Amino acid sequence: MTKQFYQFPKDFWWGSASSATQMEGGAHEGGKGENIWDRWYQEEPNRFFNGVGPENTSDFYHQYKEDIQLLKETGHNSFRPSISWSRLIPTGDGEVNQEAVTFYRDVFQTMRENGIEPFVNLYHFDMPMAMQDKGGWTSREVVEAYVRYAQICFEQFGDLVTKWFTHNEPVVTIEGQYLYGFHYPGELDFKKGVQAGFHSILAGAKAVQAFRAGGHKGEIGVILNLTPSYPRSQHPEDLKAAHIADLFFNRSFLDPFVKGEFPADFVELLREEGFMPEVLEGDLELIANNTVDLLGINYYQPRRIKAKENMPNLKAPFMPERFFDYFNEMHGRKINKYRGWEIYEKGIYDILVNVRENYGNIPCFISENGMGVEDEGRFVDENGQIQDDYRIDFYKNHLKWVHKALEEGTNVKGYHVWTFIDNWSWLNAYKNRYGLVSLDLENNFKRTIKKSGEWYRSVAEQGGFED
């Protein structure tokens, strides 16, 4: 079979993403305040896989200079960390922690010195505990505190950072905190979830407004996990169910952040069910006038949807699944057995086509794509390197579809994997490993580049790959 070389533009962004809580460690050092993960681990350590909490994670706080060298060695020309709100402003809205300013400035400066562009995210699931005590995203006061935090970041780091992102996966925050219980405080309260979602969007728009009003150079965007909702069939009820799932999990955030408006049928659904959020005068105009410059797209798996099989219990707590069921019986699906997630590479193409055709072909990039695997020590060769060919295949097969979308005219500017180094993953801790670089928890956090890390460097150097 003839091989093809998949060539990407010379200025394509090759990199990866992580987050402050997942990689920094030093949770109680350097003046950092408590966030919701610190509190949850303190209250219920049993919820965390193997009882491993956020205190140390992969220790970027102490080893960032060595880690940035590893970023360079694995071909990165860009990297997306997040700033810890509770490290920079320990109470969320009080004094700025100068130790944190020094730390982040040195991180971004060191990245630039190594030819790595900082793509900096302001919020990645890590609400300061003092802000959560005021209601978190359900509180208007927290929205204003977040905007102040964003302004401080722009002012303190704007000379080093020209790619900013307001949130990572804001819908997951709502799912985790107010629907499915995998983020603190783990409530089941759809009305709170809707209010928190609206305030997240409003906070993002206000941050965009502040960024532009401050005359800061560069671009500001948002990172959304876009998960295509595929209907089981073309039957009208399956199509309707998939459409509603798409409204809840994709368009509820995609439309306001990119178009400045909420889908009319989603608003109508919320109104009919009695879940409209509190919206103050001027809010919708502000959202309309402060859309993002750049869209990051996180993609891991599709969502398969079918019409409801049984009538829902109308007296039970309201959930999106009142309108659809998940369709898991599809024959021949590829599954990552460690996560139970479907591997469907074409999904990444379908998202990019949708963005091109329905969202003004906004400049975008794949901001996360990755494969978590348990017990990778099974794949270590005689030289101590993990031979993760499965991960290389995963990336190749997704990049082929990114390449196709690019050739067809989608304004896709880069590909970031999840993640650079095996990192702590919330309640799953270190159960699944995603990194281009392995982390040895038993041996002083030793880092070793995996086979996929070497492959990724070659892709970045060549601007593509052959397959």
Asked if residue 231 has a cis previous peptide bond (ω within 30° of 0), the answer is: no
Paired tokens of 11: 């200025």
Judge contact between 418 and 369, C-beta under 8 A. Answer: yes
Tokens found for residue 287: 């959202």
3-state helix, strand, coil in the chain (%, to 5): 45, 15, 40
Catalytic, out of 34, 169, 175, 368: 368
Sheet of strand 303-306, all strands in order from the earlier edge strand to the far edge: 229-231, 303-306, 325-326
CB contact set of 120 (below 8 Å; sequence gap of 6+): 80, 81, 82, 83, 108, 153, 157, 161, 163, 164, 165
At residue 88, what are phi and psi to the nearest 5 degrees?
A: -75, -40
For residues 5 and 464, is the Cβ–Cβ distance under 8 A? yes
Helices first, then strands: H and E counts in the chain:
16, 17
Annotated catalytic residue 73: no
125 near 168, Cβ under 8 Å? yes
Which residues make beta-bridge pairs with 437? 421, 449
Q: How far apart are CA 437 and CA 445, in angstroms?
A: 11
The DSSP bridge pattern shows strands 341-342 and 335-336 to be antiparallel
Chain-centroid distance, C-alpha 301: 14
Q: What does DSSP say about strands 219-225 and 229-231: parallel, antiparallel, or unpaired? A: unpaired
Helix, coil or strand: residue 386: strand
Rounded distance between C-alpha atoms, residue 36 and residue 249, angstroms: 23
Residues annotated as catalytic (active site), given as ranges: 368
